[in-house]
Structure 1
């Protein structure tokens, strides 16, 4: 089977990403390149600022293939920083500010980065790394007075543009090296999305998420406008406001965020011409809601190792939302093969096999991991290009009679939750290092609300309720998305006749015999919190000491908790309050404190009376 779409052999410009951008800036200097709130930068302004910073980086020793760490939230300055790194000839290493210090330190050391572009308030997290720090700031004072013309970067298309770390099955994150050529394959003359000077593309993904590659370079390499979402966790309300304010025409959302936005604010994306969904299996019900409103929905598919997308179903139909939505066909300059278990024999249409990806979108490999690179990036036995390689995705698909691919699952333990790739082995390895854990397994289970949650199953002689201590332990080692939200203590892990863990026999989190009895709400405020949680989580019996995340909550639902409580009470809690105060009892205390601070002139009795009136009303 050989699935090729569009111009698989179409020539790709032999240029770097920053060179392609510079051409746009030269041709349309006065066109707006990006917007952020009320601020605007033209292509010429962005180009000159990035050039100044690039000269500064060159003076710091940055050149071809040199890594530069970047730690910041969404802003015009961080876009300037990424462009400047490429103009200096280097490649960027995106660091998520929310990652634990130990993981950030590993990524810095593993990448070999020596220079760090960082927001001043985050600089303290890297004090012990020995990195040379350059502050990310609106006026770029450190680069003031440097030339506004581009330095000679020395970079070529096969040099790295960025290294992005993903979860690793052995417990060690792996850095995927993506070249300039890889990025241009994604965004140049794209046949799966509308990317042209008339479009406004929304930027909302974290830099450490490869969806940002499409957002930033898809816009800036095509003369479009990049609308940068305000900093913080994206919410349905903030996305709706950004879409309205900037007249967004193209938006890419991870599957979990897409589902959340459409469920909670069905009209938020109604004016967007094209909505791309990626990162996990597309949810038919929510896709159907948008298609019925006349919005073009694109179901995008692709691992980080293939530079964001390698296949897409453009223009999902209503008929396709009645079942599994296809992941589509190969995008331009991409070749897809479906092969049998031997990794070579191609299977006919209708039969399941592993998907292999070829073409200039296939990444260089895993940084510093030659054995793993050789295992997953294999020689192409079908093509005619000398030295060409295929990436083994590990995904199982079938080709339908219409030539569209359908996704069926994985051939290993990799899973996706809210768009994040999770290697269960990495979670299990971290748990296995805890001194009070004799054995551990991680698995994905559905929540009562129909979402997916990561569950930790542990065998321990001393941890009666393992959730809180193990969660805090893992949060020092792993990103939040790799920390199980529900926990079950077992006397022993269930084994099959071969002595391997029988994952099908693992109980659901609600069957945990160590779970404490439910404590009913004791105050009107606790009652309100419990009611909001019950509505969002589809859990009937919630006690005031139950943990929001162990009940199936996640960051997207946390934003709705604060929104719904804001409708009941005259205060606005930050989303971080749900992470810090994870039980109804603790969150009720935060609510009372916030209201008391606002109405300090009232007595406690008056405050309680006011809250009762609000609840009853």
Structure 2
């Protein structure tokens, strides 16, 4: 591990960033919308904010809300909170105000870092404010020197909210030690050096943002923060013009990016050297399309928010017979267990469990849910703390894992189980279909598709195409063409938006 030689096990991302600032003071640390900051200047701005937060009475592990626009301020705010010992609570401005207020109340955050034009959304809350724009002169008066106290690895660093089955989001508690583990292992997995430029694409509220931010900062690399809005054409232009070497995207965005091969084939080349895909299932059809347009290797990874890091990976340089999520990496232990909690035989489907030293602490204010999902099992004579993912997989003979979908992505049609991902994959293999999503509409499957612009398909043709390989119960009976599939702010398929569109009869 040449990049991290001599690193103390107790180091945090704050210390790894400061080390990068000492080693590469003049390297560009972050760029966004034509502006950039060197490592030394980013460190100074973060220090000023951290000193201010300490003056405001911030103590170790205290949650601080971050509702900031994408860009350099977002990175300054994040580092400032961590340097001061606080715990970041990302609040994406694109979320509904009611959801953001719920997160602030749930964490009992005492401070909110935001911009003046966002402040009105939180008027009802008795919470201290730091307005990065309106308070700019005040912040600039604070010392730019590093703080003398750094967080402990066991201190709370992050609370990330994910969708909850109860209808309310659940906060995943992430400690400084886990965050540092994420940064150093991600940098190793991606082979990052100070010469790289990584696209920071994910919302700050998405788990991938942690690796996209702290991995490059750990090695002196450049982080390119995309703007709020993007189209395939604009994103490709940004990648080309900014000299991005490593892309980190969800399959939905990769699909979006490759919809115009006459453009993408000219962009997806050197200096781009690697695409990291994760967050959703990567389909064989999409892998095929990627390698039709570029020879850039594709790293397919798997790691839920609760893992805090990638736990399996598979590097692809050409389309494989079966797309897998790869084998366990670093010190992660991964198991496929049957319903009785016993390891399933190779090739047999079961629920995916994992154990890693850097996994989340648990769910904030939800001890019952924490106990349900973070479980203790004895496997191979060893007692392990495991996380139940709710994902289905099977272990292949070569030691790699084939992802089979979510337990809750299986629906029943007339009493028969149907896996929506399998139906979507079949639809996307049609030459005239660029993207597809399937939902349950009443008692039948409804397919939404984006045309590739080649020989516009009709409903009967698509139905016959599906019927060639799928059992009758898994063949959609209604096909609706859309210009684009709805995506969440994290770049994943928005199934709830599809459900709202789906006919109920």
* Superposed pair shares fold, TM > 0.5: yes
Contact 2:255–2:435 under 8 Å retained in 1: no
Question: Could you tell me which residue of structure 2 aligns to residue 181 of structure 1?
Answer: 177
Contact 1:195–1:224 under 8 Å retained in 2: yes
Question: Could you tell me which residue of structure 1 aligns to residue 102 of structure 2?
Answer: 106
* Aligned-residue offset at 1:37: 3.4
Please point out which of 189, 193, 197 is paired with 2:194.
197
* Aligned-residue offset at 1:291: 3.5
Contact 2:434–2:451 under 8 Å retained in 1: no
For residues 537 and 114 of structure 1, the distance between their equivalents in structure 2, rounded to whole angstroms, comes to: 58
For residues 342 and 557 of structure 1, the distance between their equivalents in structure 2, rounded to whole angstroms, comes to: 35
Please point out which of 339, 347, 352 is paired with 1:341.
339
Contact 1:358–1:380 under 8 Å retained in 2: no
Structure 2 residue 299 is the aligned partner of structure 1 residue 298: yes
Task: Write out per-residue CA displacement over residues 413-472 of structure 1, whole angstroms, 9 at most, x where no aligned residue.
Answer: 599xxxxxxxxxxxxxxxxxxxxxxxxxxx998589564557585xxxxxxxxxxxxxxx
Contact 1:334–1:361 under 8 Å retained in 2: no
For residues 413 and 284 of structure 1, the distance between their equivalents in structure 2, rounded to whole angstroms, comes to: 19
Q: Within 5 A, what are the aligned runs for 1:202-213?
A: 202-213=199-210
For residues 454 and 145 of structure 2, the distance between their equivalents in structure 1, rounded to whole angstroms, comes to: 53
Q: Within 5 A, what are the aligned runs for 1:44-83?
A: 44-83=40-79
Contact 2:32–2:225 under 8 Å retained in 1: yes
Contact 1:249–1:273 under 8 Å retained in 2: yes
Task: Write out per-residue CA displacement over residues 130-161 of structure 1, whole angstroms, 9 at most, x where no aligned residue.
Answer: 22121133983231211111224452112222
5+ residue gaps, structure 1, are: 1-9, 416-442, 458-489, 491-504, 511-531, 542-548, 559-578, 584-617
Structure 2 residue 268 is the aligned partner of structure 1 residue 330: no
For residues 15 and 237 of structure 1, the distance between their equivalents in structure 2, rounded to whole angstroms, comes to: 41
For residues 87 and 112 of structure 1, the distance between their equivalents in structure 2, rounded to whole angstroms, comes to: 20
Question: Could you tell me which residue of structure 2 aligns to residue 523 of structure 1?
Answer: none
Task: Write out per-residue CA displacement over residues 28-65 of structure 1, whole angstroms, 9 at most, x where no aligned residue.
Answer: 21222112233221111111110000011112222211
For residues 394 and 11 of structure 1, the distance between their equivalents in structure 2, rounded to whole angstroms, comes to: 35
Q: Within 5 A, what are the aligned runs for 1:286-435?
A: 286-291=286-291, 293-314=294-315, 316-320=316-320, 323-343=321-341, 345-382=342-379, 389-413=385-409
Change (3 A) 1:245 1:533: same
For residues 12 and 374 of structure 1, the distance between their equivalents in structure 2, rounded to whole angstroms, comes to: 32
For residues 539 and 23 of structure 1, the distance between their equivalents in structure 2, rounded to whole angstroms, comes to: 57
Task: Write out per-residue CA displacement over residues 445-503 of structure 1, whole angstroms, 9 at most, x where no aligned residue.
Answer: 8589564557585xxxxxxxxxxxxxxxxxxxxxxxxxxxxxxxx6xxxxxxxxxxxxx
Specify the SS of the correspondent of 1:109: helix
Question: Could you tell me which residue of structure 2 aligns to residue 225 of structure 1?
Answer: 222
Question: Could you tell me which residue of structure 1 aligns to residue 241 of structure 2?
Answer: 245
Contact 1:181–1:360 under 8 Å retained in 2: no
Specify the SS of the correspondent of 1:197: coil
Contact 2:436–2:447 under 8 Å retained in 1: no
* Aligned-residue offset at 1:410: 2.4
Question: Could you tell me which residue of structure 2 aligns to residue 269 of structure 1?
Answer: 268
Structure 2 residue 164 is the aligned partner of structure 1 residue 168: yes
Question: Could you tell me which residue of structure 2 aligns to residue 216 of structure 1?
Answer: 213
* Aligned-residue offset at 1:179: 1.5
For residues 534 and 325 of structure 1, the distance between their equivalents in structure 2, rounded to whole angstroms, comes to: 23
* Aligned-residue offset at 1:403: 1.4
Specify the SS of the correspondent of 2:142: coil
Contact 1:69–1:115 under 8 Å retained in 2: yes
* Aligned-residue offset at 1:363: 0.7
* Aligned-residue offset at 1:379: 2.0
TM-score between the two structures when normalised by the length of structure 1? 0.66
What RMSD, in angstroms, separates the aligned Cα atoms of the two structures? 3.3
Larger radius of gyration: 1
Q: Within 5 A, what are the aligned runs for 1:536-575?
A: 551=482, 553-555=484-486
Task: Write out per-residue CA displacement over residues 534-582 of structure 1, whole angstroms, 9 at most, x where no aligned residue.
Answer: 96996879xxxxxxx9957434699xxxxxxxxxxxxxxxxxxxx9xxx
Query: Which contiguous aligned blocks of 4+ residues in structure 1 show a shift greater than 6 angstroms?
Result: 383-386, 536-541
For residues 404 and 205 of structure 2, the distance between their equivalents in structure 1, rounded to whole angstroms, comes to: 27
For residues 213 and 92 of structure 1, the distance between their equivalents in structure 2, rounded to whole angstroms, comes to: 11
Contact 1:259–1:283 under 8 Å retained in 2: no
Please point out which of 10, 15, 27 is paired with 1:14.
10
For residues 356 and 250 of structure 1, the distance between their equivalents in structure 2, rounded to whole angstroms, comes to: 29
Contact 2:12–2:152 under 8 Å retained in 1: yes
* Aligned-residue offset at 1:79: 0.3
Change (3 A) 1:127 1:295: same
Please point out which of 22, 28, 33 is paired with 2:24.
28
Contact 1:227–1:246 under 8 Å retained in 2: yes
Change (3 A) 1:157 1:183: same
For residues 88 and 60 of structure 2, the distance between their equivalents in structure 1, rounded to whole angstroms, comes to: 11
Contact 1:537–1:551 under 8 Å retained in 2: no
Change (3 A) 1:78 1:25: same
For residues 374 and 537 of structure 1, the distance between their equivalents in structure 2, rounded to whole angstroms, comes to: 53
Contact 2:439–2:445 under 8 Å retained in 1: no
Bigger Cα displacement from structure 2, 83-92 vs 278-287: 278-287
For residues 283 and 152 of structure 1, the distance between their equivalents in structure 2, rounded to whole angstroms, comes to: 49
5+ residue gaps, structure 2, are: 1-5, 412-419, 460-479, 490-496
